Amino acid sequence: MNNKLFACIVLLLIIAACRNGKQPLPAAESRFADDSVPGFVIADTIIYDVIIQNPNPDDAWIAHCLKGLHHRMLVDSIFGMVYSGKITAYDHLTREKLTPNQVRKIEAAAGFSRDDISMIQFTEVWYMNPGETEIIKKVLAMVLGCNYYTQEGERFNKALFRVEL
């Protein structure tokens, strides 16, 4: 399977190299009608989790990976956009819209702190534009989550809400 993927990428890069100039490829047809990203879709859609807070202060690798993250700015910006109405929050499970007041109630819950938001689950579309030798990742939605611990000390994440961009 990896050989086929590698062969496809090499073939696409060869084709792109034969093109005159640095004109981007036309946008691929997608189920997202407002897409204006040049290139073609290589992942429509992909969902994955990203740790945004180190659960273990002794883990030097995670600390290194997160050293450039502005956690507070990211989290405050998302809440600010929800409260201002620029983006809408949804219940992660039911996909029902949440009002800004409902998000305020989530935030007002006992023991909650924005500092405890430890992961984001991203839903994205990925594009490849060999003419510009770039991969573009377009975020469609994010689910914010917090770490919680069982009585046995096992860590798990709990979704707070989803926002769609």
**Res 22 pLDDT > 80:** no
Domain count, the chain: 1
Give the domain range for residue 151.
23-164
pLDDT score recorded for residue 109: 93
The number of C-alpha atoms within 13 Å of 77 and in the hemisphere containing its C-beta is 7
Q: At CA 12, angle to CA 7 and CA 18, rounded to 5?
A: 130
Taking the model in full, what pTM does it have?
0.74
- CA pair distance 26, 102, nearest whole angstrom: 42
For the chain, give the percent of residues with pLDDT over 90.
62
Phi and psi at residue 70, in whole multiples of 5°? Answer: -100, 80
**Is position 140 within any domain?**
yes
Q: With respect to residue 14, please indicate whether it lies within any of the assigned structural domains.
A: no
- Does a structural domain hold residue 89? yes
Q: Which of 43, 12, 51 is nearest to 138 (CA)?
A: 43
